Structure 1
Amino acid sequence: MSESVPLPPLVFTPLLKRIRWGGRRLGTVLGKSIGDESDYAESWEIANQPEHDSVVAAGPLRGITLSELMVAGGESLLGRQSQLSQFPLLIKFLDANDWLSLQVHPDDMLAREYGAQERGKTECWVILQADPGARICCGLRRGVTSAELRRGLESVSSGGDRGELEGLLHMYEVRAGDCVFVPAGTVHALGRGILLAEIQQQSNQTFRLYDWGWVGADGKPRPIHVADSLHCTNFERGPVNPVVPVELCDQEHSFEELVRCEYFVVRRHESLHAFSLTSDDRFRILMTLSGSGLVQTSTGDEQLLRGGTVLLPACCGRIRIQPRERLQILEISCP
């Protein structure tokens, strides 16, 4: 592959993860190729980590890894971000059929305490489906201190009532369409009955505060990291609620900006009619939440199918979206 060859829109083979809290909706709703098991938890759509490196699924670049694309086609792929040695974002779909652990991620500065190359992990969730009464935890009640959270964790770990801990957490119901921005340092957990898209920094740094009493087939619980979790928690943040989308429009259609932070920008488009996306020397990622269509670019076209993810390299030039039916997509870029 030559740096001078323009890169077409890229689709990668999903990396499917089976975890005890998963379900089957990655297959039944989003069309992923799952087996007969009932614990499919995550579909890593775009990943660039040593043990989890996305591979191009089809076309002339089939079998090429994202790491190889970063080396050989960095400027064509990343444009103004071509100085990066690692793709900056990790893109997933998640099916939470049970509660995930109560956890927290460090910010960039704290992450480096655990390894010189480590990054923090700021993320956001866009809810695709939520069962009636489905809840999440995002943030702590206002004024909760490190000492109070430690006491609550010690109480449940020694067999105490879970209510003491839950009384410190900001827990609420979510519904389809909600977007929750989770900055690094925010205590959080996904509840059962939620299917979502997740956009985050390219990091897997996670510290677990509590695992709801779950034990594995061997009768042993997963590791808990209370000291590291408390060290990485931002106790000044308080409760974190769903974002209020910013309504935007261009000459062709209206759309929503869900999140704009130093790591990523997430916009949601829904339309029956064709529209264009700006091309400004940066890559874009399209996640199709519902409907179907076609994305047309200067370097090639690609299908937009529900549950699919397309990476549009910076060299793609013009971007035209052609819906076949009512189409809802997330447009993800770096600021």
Structure 2
Amino acid sequence: MIEPYPLRFKPVLKQTLWGGRLLGDHLGKPIGEGANYAESWEVVDHGADQSIVVSGPLAGKSLRELLVEHQPWLMGESEDDEFPLLLKYLDCNRVLSVQVHPSDNYAAKMPIPDRGKTEAWYIVAAQPDSVVYAGLKTGVREADLRAAIQEGRAEEVLHQFHPEPGNCVFIPAGTVHALGKGLLVAEIQQSSDTTFRLFDWNRVDEQGNSRELHLQRGLEVTDFDRGPVQPIQVRQDVHAWQTLVMCDKFVLRAFQSGPAPVTGETFGDDDRFHLITVPSGTATLTTTTEKLRLATGDSLLLPAALGPVRLDLGEHSTALEMTAV
């Protein structure tokens, strides 16, 4: 049996038309040339997208291999044979398409079955004019949304607000949403890549072609009773772990410091895996055998067998902690 230790992975970088440079400039990710780095998948086990361990006795192993070879060690009481969560960062240099994700039941019946996709965003940085689109305006029904999309005016029926760093936005499956430009976001979600694109802001490529939309399927999975989604604000005066989201897929907590470093409380001795990421500042993770320094953008997977840990923060720092339910 391998002695349990915190796992660091090589980020899986994704380039798309809406990306930028913040994954490298702000979070220290190993991006190359160009200004279209959109996503850094920190912890993932989804088909060909696999996190690879970068240090320790398990270096070179994929997260899929860890699940096959060390399932109880990694997952504890969970009997899931696939890693259920996906942790990522997004650099929204341009507005993303308006999307909606299916539930587990709907996704399982698709030609290529997948999980549903419930997710939550933590706003790391935001330009003053940035916008989050989260949910539909009160009273919007299927016919209203369909007409707005077909007439190129979807923005009129979307609830929207200007986010601030420290905001959290919970997006259950079935919630219509889009991230606006000028945002740097940490996202925790079910391990799924199933997205139905409802509207793409009337954009066309150099050949005059629009991106594919999935209007009928998107309307089928939309929760028209969800209504507007309001941001959850991390309390700036609380320097202890705060629960931001607790749902049937995951728990998301935040821990932040002010002008002085903060010592955290012990957690993790619960026979479950935990994910840690540091969207800003620095942190120190203390286990029963070692101390690990974490810089801005660092992420870890703590195996269930690791036992109790403590996370301490440097000044003006934030850490996020996530686990499956």
**Cα separation, 1, equivalents of 2:306 and 2:9:** 17
| Residues 299-308 or 259-268, more deviating | 299-308
**Cα separation, 2, equivalents of 1:323 and 1:144:** 44
In the alignment, which residue of structure 2 is the partner of 1:331? 321
SS in 1 for 2:145: helix
Q: 1:324 to 1:241 in 2, by over 3 A?
A: closer
Of 178, 182, 188, 1:189 maps to: 178
In the TM superposition, structure 1's runs of 4+ consecutive aligned residues that sit over 4 Å from their partners are 244-249
**Contact 2:283-2:319 within 8 A present in 1 as well:** no
In the alignment, which residue of structure 2 is the partner of 1:132? 128
In the alignment, which residue of structure 2 is the partner of 1:286? 276
Query: 1:157-196 alignment to 2 at 5 Å?
Result: 162=153, 165-196=154-185
Question: Paired residues, what number?
Answer: 321
| Residues 113-122 or 147-156, more deviating | 113-122
**Cα separation, 2, equivalents of 1:136 and 1:290:** 21
Query: 1:134-283 alignment to 2 at 5 Å?
Result: 134-156=130-152, 162=153, 165-243=154-232, 254-271=240-257, 272-278=261-267, 279-283=269-273
In the alignment, which residue of structure 2 is the partner of 1:36? 33
1:122 and 2:118 correspond: yes
**Contact 1:186-1:233 within 8 A present in 2 as well:** yes
| Percent identity (aligned) | 43
In the alignment, which residue of structure 1 is the partner of 2:11? 14
Q: 1:79 to 1:152 in 2, by over 3 A?
A: same
Which residues of structure 1 form unaligned runs of 5+? Answer: 157-161
Of 299, 310, 315, 1:320 maps to: 310
Question: Alpha carbon RMSD of aligned pairs, Å?
Answer: 1.9
How far off is 1:144 after superposition? 0.8
How far off is 1:224 after superposition? 0.5
**Contact 2:134-2:158 within 8 A present in 1 as well:** yes
**Cα separation, 2, equivalents of 1:296 and 1:63:** 24
**Cα separation, 2, equivalents of 1:197 and 1:225:** 26
SS in 1 for 2:241: strand
What per-residue deviation string (whole Å, max 9, x for no partner) do you get for residues 68-101 of structure 1?
Answer: 00011111111111x1110010000000011100
In the alignment, which residue of structure 2 is the partner of 1:85? 81
Of 62, 69, 73, 2:70 maps to: 73
| Residues 56-65 or 214-223, more deviating | 214-223
Length-normalised TM-score, structure 1: 0.91
**Contact 1:9-1:299 within 8 A present in 2 as well:** no
SS in 2 for 1:170: strand
Q: 1:37 to 1:296 in 2, by over 3 A?
A: same
**Contact 1:138-1:189 within 8 A present in 2 as well:** yes
In the alignment, which residue of structure 2 is the partner of 1:159? none
SS in 2 for 1:114: coil
In the alignment, which residue of structure 1 is the partner of 2:43? 46
